């Protein structure tokens, strides 16, 4: 199932390259908020505009969460996640401003890894699971020059069969060619 979903996402991305008008790549960093704890994140995005304002893109994001001493001196907990997403971004045109707002909607897979280190029992436990996810968000781009600029976005990520959802805030640098 996991392989099938990944193959479908990659195939859709490759087919859209045929109709692309221009391409965009970006690097992002930011914070994710999971279970009221902060996560540091790094991400890469590559996409192409298939119409003047509609971009299809893929994105890969790595999250790192660390909780120290949930029960005092009993154990440490760390969670990591790697998400792969296929998304559509629609940009809007505002007159008399350089700001380019956008909305985004995506689907993908998120692989979650959890680690526990129980200090009092001298053991380490870990497990991982892959889950379907989808996200919705909005943001804006601020062009610094014709082919590059800054981007800011906020996304709400829904992870299937988990009670946790992730609120993600990012800032990045984009390049168009």
**How do the domains of the chain map onto residue ranges?**
2-176
Contact 60, 44 (CB under 8 A): yes
pLDDT band, residue 149 (cuts 50/70/90)? very high
What is the average pLDDT across 33-43?
A: 75
Q: Provide the pLDDT for residue 17.
A: 56
d(CA 128, CA 78): 12
d(CA 144, CA 131): 37
How many other C-beta atoms lie within 10 A of the C-beta of residue 159?
A: 21
Q: Provide the pLDDT for residue 159.
A: 85
2-176 classified as CATH 2.40.160.20? yes
pLDDT band, residue 1 (cuts 50/70/90)? low
pTM: 0.79
Q: Which residue has the higher pLDDT, 124 or 54?
A: 54
Report the chain's mean pLDDT, rounded to a whole number: 82
Q: In a 3-state reduction of DSSP, which class is residue 145?
A: coil
């Amino acid at each position: 199932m996991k392989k099938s979903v990944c193959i479908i996402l990659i195939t859709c991305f490759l087919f859209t390259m045929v109709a692309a008008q221009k391409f965009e790549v970006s690097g992002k960093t930011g914070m994710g908020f999971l279970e009221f704890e902060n996560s540091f994140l790094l991400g890469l995005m590559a996409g192409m505009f298939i119409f003047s304002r509609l971009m299809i893109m893929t994105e890969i994001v790595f999250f790192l969460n660390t909780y120290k001493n949930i029960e005092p001196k009993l154990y440490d907990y760390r969670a990591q996640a790697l998400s792969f997403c296929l998304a559509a971004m629609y940009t809007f045109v505002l007159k008399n401003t350089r700001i380019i707002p956008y909305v985004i909607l995506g689907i993908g897979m998120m692989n979650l890894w959890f680690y526990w280190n129980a200090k009092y029992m001298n053991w380490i436990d870990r497990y991982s699971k892959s889950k379907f996810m989808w996200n919705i968000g909005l943001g804006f781009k601020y062009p610094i020059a014709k082919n590059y600029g800054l981007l800011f976005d906020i996304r709400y990520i829904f992870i299937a069969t988990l009670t946790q959802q992730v609120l993600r805030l990012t800032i990045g640098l984009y390049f168009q060619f």
